[in-house]
Amino acid sequence: RSTPKPSSAASDVYKRQAERAAGEYPLTLALLKLVDALLSSGAGAAPAMTPLLQHALVEVLTQHGAWRYRRRTDRWEMHAAAAKALASALTPRPGPANAARRAAVAGFVAGDAGAASAALAPLALDAAALRSMHEEGAWRAAEVAAAEDAVAATLALLPALLRALETNAATAAAAAADFSGSAAAPLTPLGGGPLARALLVEAPWGGPALAAAVASYAAYPYAAACCPLALPALAALCACAPAEPPLASALPSLAPRGARGALGFGFGSTLSLPDKEASASAGRGAASDTLDARAAVVGALAPGAARADPAAARAAAAFLAAAAESQPMLAEALLLPARLGAADALASPGSAGEAGE
């Protein structure tokens, strides 16, 4: 009698168990790259893509953070591959099947706490923390490069995800209008689920809202793929975040230094959370203060800097335009003179006398 061959499903389970026992995941990485390539080539509407994409999102994206890894760089590489596959799934493509899949994937990431946390996991490292890793020496160079790539993949994912949520909100509003026969109130694309909370209120693992980590990469001092992706991610966030409380409340680093204490509330205070600026300073020390995201945004628009790096100037201008359209308080904070120090002037006893001299 011939020995029966194991089923495909049993074989897949065995291979996954073997990878996790070894702490190395060549097959999983290859599958993620295959999913990315298939989606990028326009195969997303094929029925066979559904189980592949479900595996990439449910089995890999949401669970890979708990796996054992032989090398530290491998965890970052796994996240980057999963984020790229997710971004491909969220890219608009023609056809109703692709549109339905895009809507479902965006809704899953926005509404599932595990998926939202996993998708944003590299942002646990803000630019100051990653810079500290970089400065520890050459022995961490490979890990830092892999972490930079994972952060870059996450920042590149955010605009695709947020635009898909904008489409979902517009579709829902149109459906509600058709049902009621009158114009429906506009929906906030980001909503109030786990993704919104992580970006605007508090990180899933505690600490400041992850929008602040996104902004910090505008000032990352080393040339890396993540640097030019921070401002497009923030521009997309401006369009999707609710008008109240203002997005500026989650981004105190983009206010003039003298006014930053006044912006440490809003999203957090709505839910009785501790002051984000204070907790960030206590947890990260003075190093975070030396990376000035606001100065990086404003500096990119200076004539000399714009001539030297026109792409950065265009990104800064697009971010400012998005803020002016949807988040006027944030735009005002960016447009205030960089050295205004209004809070310090008001607190100074002699300020009134000096003004009258």
Helical spans, DSSP H, in 5-71: 8-22, 26-40, 49-54
C-alpha–C-alpha distance, residues 106 and 311, integer Å: 28
- Please state which of the ranges 74-88, 253-267, 312-326 shows the lowest mean pLDDT: 253-267
Determine the 3-state secondary structure of 24 from DSSP. Answer: coil
Q: Is the pLDDT of residue 86 over 90?
A: yes
Both tokens of residue 29?
């990485």
Closest among 148, 269, 262, 254 to 202, alpha carbons compared:
269
Closest among 62, 65, 66, 44 to 53, alpha carbons compared:
44
Closest among 190, 196, 202 to 271, alpha carbons compared:
202
C-alpha–C-alpha distance, residues 197 and 192, integer Å: 7
Please give the backbone phi and psi of residue 173, each rounded to the nearest 5 degrees, phi first: -65, -40
Determine the 3-state secondary structure of 337 from DSSP. Answer: coil
Tens of pLDDT, residues 96-149: 989 999 999 999 999 999 999 999 999 999 999 999 999 998 999 999 999 999
pTM: 0.82
Query: Length of the chain, please?
Result: 357
Tens of pLDDT, residues 154-187: 999 999 999 999 999 988 878 777 666 665 566 7
C-alpha–C-alpha distance, residues 230 and 151, integer Å: 10
Helical spans, DSSP H, in the chain: 8-22, 26-40, 49-54, 72-90, 96-111, 113-119, 127-134, 141-180, 194-200, 210-216, 230-240, 267-270, 276-284, 293-300, 303-308, 310-326, 328-335, 342-347, 351-356
Asked whether the beta carbons of 265 and 277 are under 8 A apart, the reply is no
What is residue 253's predicted lDDT score, i.e. its pLDDT?
A: 87
C-alpha–C-alpha distance, residues 105 and 53, integer Å: 9
- Cα-Cα-Cα-Cα dihedral sign, residues 20, 24, 25, 27: negative
DSSP codes of every residue in 258-300: GGGGGGS-SHHHHTTPPPHHHHHHHHHGGGGGGS-HHHHHHHH
Asked whether the beta carbons of 333 and 264 are under 8 A apart, the reply is no
- Please state which of the ranges 68-82, 235-249, 267-281 shows the lowest mean pLDDT: 267-281
